[in-house]
Amino acid sequence: MSPLNLPDQGRAPAEPIIDDPKRRGAILLAVCIALMAVIAAVSGLNVAQPQMALALDGSQGDVLWIINIYAITLAALLLPLGAVGDRWGRKPVLLIGLLLFGVANVASGLAFSVPVMLGARLLAGVGGAMIMPVTLSVITSAFPAEERSKAIGIWTGVAGGGGILGMFLSALLVDVLDWRWLFVLPVILMIAAALLSLRAIPNSREHSAHRFDLGGAVLAAVAVVGLILFLHEGPVEGWTAPITLVGLVAGVAASIGFALWELRHPAPLLDIRLFAKRSLTSGSVTLLVWFGVQAGVFVVLFPFFQAVLGWSGLLATLGLMPMAILMMVSSALAAKVAKAIGQRLTMALGMVLGGSGLALMSMLVSVDAGYVGVLPGMIAMGLGMGLSMAPSTEAITSSLPRDRQGVASALNDVTREFGTSLGVALLGAMFTSGYGSAIARRLVGVPADVAAEVSKGIAGALDLANDEASAGVLLSAREAFVEAWQQAMWAGVVVMALLLVFVLLRGPRHQEAMA
């Protein structure tokens, strides 16, 4: 038996697929509703930072930890809890996760202190980590091959566009009602998903003769926490700060330990040898890079709308909607394109569109061009994301057996989280450095105190723009912002070009059948 088939040893066949189209539709609706709530919770609180800090009597650092503790907990527990779903049964794990997530959001909405809010958000992360892998593994394990690609495309569209939709709905609720209403929508979505899940979702699971890989689960969680902490804290505290270095050392050490442990375990959480498959490697690398580039774009795109164009938070999130909608549409269509030209060329086509979108943004963006200058690039990127991400997700899930789809789905989700953290850290740092260089050339003759404030970022220029004399400084800051953005986008073009070459050489040769 090939080493690549080791995860199948000691397991009975998985439960049969669902043939009823109406039931499959109900399953897809249930998991997409649950997924939307989990994804939106990552970005939703960003629009309510000032109001939340005031209500909870917290500092800016407290607010950032309230936001980050959810994302870190979610990422750390995805792989272990995805495997738990495979072992215990995907339906009960999903229902428990929905319950925890709903309770956590009720507690968040009622919280009146920072410690209570932190605890509630941590609990929400645990619930989200139980929900997210199951939403994809139910599709890949229960849908027939001829319907699976289309369903994965829809799931991918929700996973990619849910963050932007969540930001828009959150901004709308904050503007119209109150920031505490941000936690009402997830509760409603959880109730709807639970009711649909009880009726439609099958309780598929693996049947293993071996013990659960607890050691691998712990090492995986430590590795993810350490590396994401390193990427989160590096740009803020400094890359040589103690907390940053601790995260890096812990993450690298646990990653090495995880790989060695998994190679020796009779029933590993994730068999490392599976990465010899072209589909798993190319799919993972593609998602890592795409989510990194997407996050890097959002780091500058949202502030561009607000600081350069002067838009409100609600209008800025609305400005992102064309990209989100087109990404969801192209994700749904990716299955048909892949059927016609293959997974590898579909992924490559998405990368060409994505790279073109970044190049268009860099060439057309300016202070005077406004929204029209970035819209063509956003359209190309939205189309490219959907075409690349959907077949990449299927490439990952098809690389593992059907009874290990919780782990496959969790690996897909962890890759997305790592990509996002990498993009924010690396492209964000490149943008910050570019802004510093660009603004320095434009501040000759400006008073030292004003120059120091404006050099920190465009927000400093906005605070000073209260008279006619400072209008020139604000214009210089906006021009420096655009110049730094152009440099970051060209770096993204280079990254996408390298990814394109990699996928053309090492992408999946054909669409693999799930074991």
What per-residue confidence (pLDDT) applies to 275? 77
Give the amino acid at 121. R
What per-residue confidence (pLDDT) applies to 6? 39
Phi, psi of 446, rounded to the nearest 5 degrees: -85, 140
Identify the burial level of 479 via C-beta atoms within 10 angstroms of its C-beta, where 0-12 means exposed, 13-18 middle and 19 or more buried: middle
Q: Which of 160, 179, 161, 158 is nearest to 170 (CA)?
A: 179
Distance CA 185, CA 173 (A): 10
What per-residue confidence (pLDDT) applies to 124? 92
- pTM for the full predicted model: 0.79
Distance CA 311, CA 323 (A): 18
What per-residue confidence (pLDDT) applies to 349? 93
Q: Which of 321, 289, 326 is nearest to 305 (CA)?
A: 321
Q: Length of the chain in residues, anyone?
A: 515
Pairing of strands 11-12, 207-208: antiparallel
CATH entry, 273-514, from 1.10.1780.10, 1.20.1740.10, 1.20.1250.20, 3.60.110.10:
1.20.1250.20
DSSP 445: T
The answer to whether the beta carbons of residues 197 and 102 sit under 8 Å apart is no
What per-residue confidence (pLDDT) applies to 206? 67
First to last CA, the chain: 14
> H or E stretch including 208?
strand 207-208
Instruction: Please give the distance of CA 67 from its chain centroid, rounded to a whole number.
Output: 14
Tally of helices (H runs) and strands (E runs) in the chain? 18, 2
Identify the burial level of 510 via C-beta atoms within 10 angstroms of its C-beta, where 0-12 means exposed, 13-18 middle and 19 or more buried: exposed
What per-residue confidence (pLDDT) applies to 16? 61
- Within 10 angstroms of residue 93's Cβ, the number of other Cβ atoms is 24
Q: What is the pLDDT along the chain (515 residues), one digit of tens a residue?
A: 333 333 444 444 445 677 788 888 888 899 889 988 888 777 667 777 667 777 887 776 677 778 778 888 888 888 888 888 877 888 899 999 999 999 999 998 888 888 898 999 999 999 998 998 888 888 887 788 778 888 888 888 888 777 777 778 777 877 778 788 888 888 888 899 999 988 888 877 666 666 777 888 889 889 888 888 887 777 767 788 888 899 899 989 998 998 898 888 877 777 778 777 888 888 888 988 888 888 888 878 877 887 778 887 788 888 888 888 898 889 888 888 888 888 889 999 999 999 999 999 889 888 788 888 889 999 999 999 889 888 888 888 887 776 667 677 777 888 887 787 777 777 777 777 787 778 877 777 777 777 777 777 676 666 665 555 566 777 787 888 888 888 888 888 998 999 999 999 887 865 554 44
What per-residue confidence (pLDDT) applies to 354? 92
CATH entry, 20-201, from 1.10.510.10, 3.50.50.60, 1.20.1250.20, 3.40.1160.10:
1.20.1250.20
Using a CB cutoff of 8 Å and minimum separation of 24, what contacts does 272-278 make? 273/3, 273/4, 273/6, 274/4, 274/7, 274/399, 274/400, 276/4, 277/4, 277/399, 277/512, 278/506, 278/507, 278/508, 278/509
Question: Which residue carries 């794990």 as its tokens?
Answer: 93
Identify the burial level of 269 via C-beta atoms within 10 angstroms of its C-beta, where 0-12 means exposed, 13-18 middle and 19 or more buried: buried
What per-residue confidence (pLDDT) applies to 244? 86
What per-residue confidence (pLDDT) applies to 1? 37
Half-sphere exposure of 288 (CA within 13 A, CB side): 15
The answer to whether the beta carbons of residues 350 and 388 sit under 8 Å apart is yes
Distance CA 98, CA 238 (A): 37
What per-residue confidence (pLDDT) applies to 249? 93
- Within 10 angstroms of residue 209's Cβ, the number of other Cβ atoms is 10
DSSP 112: -
Q: What confidence tens digit (pLDDT) does each residue in 292-332 have?
A: 888 888 878 877 887 778 887 788 888 888 888 898 889 88
Residue 207 three-state SS: strand
What per-residue confidence (pLDDT) applies to 402? 67
What are the start-end ranges of the E strands in 329-417? none
- Within 10 angstroms of residue 471's Cβ, the number of other Cβ atoms is 12
Domains 20-201 and 273-514 share a fold: yes
What per-residue confidence (pLDDT) applies to 353? 94
What per-residue confidence (pLDDT) applies to 13? 44
User: 342 — alpha (psi -120 to 50), left (phi > 0) or beta?
Assistant: left
Give the dihedral sign, CA 204/208/212/216.
negative
What per-residue confidence (pLDDT) applies to 22? 87
Q: What confidence tens digit (pLDDT) does each residue in 87-121 have?
A: 788 889 999 999 999 999 999 888 888 889 899 99
The answer to whether the beta carbons of residues 62 and 53 sit under 8 Å apart is yes
> H or E stretch including 265?
none
What per-residue confidence (pLDDT) applies to 8? 41
Q: Domain boundaries in the chain?
A: 20-201, 273-514
Distance CA 459, CA 149 (A): 44
Distance CA 360, CA 492 (A): 12
What per-residue confidence (pLDDT) applies to 394? 84
Residue 395 makes CB contacts below 8 A (sequence gap 6+) with: 279, 280, 282, 283, 286, 343, 347, 508, 512
The answer to whether the beta carbons of residues 30 and 156 sit under 8 Å apart is no
